[in-house]
Amino acid sequence: MAVSISTTEAARHLGEYLARIKHRGERFVLTRNERPVAELIPVVGSHTATWGQVLEALAGLPADPGFADDLEMVNRADLPAANPWD
């Protein structure tokens, strides 16, 4: 949900509002004479997920019972290259 702010307020504290958009994904509707004239919103694809959002998304995924076995197989196969001068 967007927060309404006056264009004067936006001009006085633009850096603060841009930081809030960048770091929190907040949205603002700029008003002049109490009428909406513009929006300040994050650029599509620019917002990064918080750890909470990542954990929430992962919690909804089904468990993979073979995942630990797959990791073990990768670890066993990941050996250092043999020294050709030995």
Q: Is the pLDDT of residue 86 over 80?
A: no
Number of domains in the chain: 1
Please list the alpha-helical segments (H only) found in 1-86.
Answer: 7-12, 14-24, 51-59, 67-77
Strands 28-32 and 35-40, bridge-based pairing? antiparallel
Which of these ranges, 2-6, 9-13, 54-58, has the smallest mean pLDDT?
54-58
pLDDT in tens, 31-61: 999 999 999 998 887 667 788 888 988 898 8
Q: Is 32 within the bounds of a domain?
A: yes
Mean pLDDT of the chain: 89
Q: What is the span of the domain harbouring residue 10?
A: 3-43+50-77
Q: Is 82 within the bounds of a domain?
A: no
Q: Is 73 within the bounds of a domain?
A: yes
What the block records as the tokens of 5 is 């702010």
CATH number at residue 65: 3.40.1620.10
User: Model pTM?
Assistant: 0.53
Q: Is 86 within the bounds of a domain?
A: no
pLDDT score, position 52: 87
Q: How far is CA 33 from CA 4, 13, 17, in A?
A: 12, 18, 20
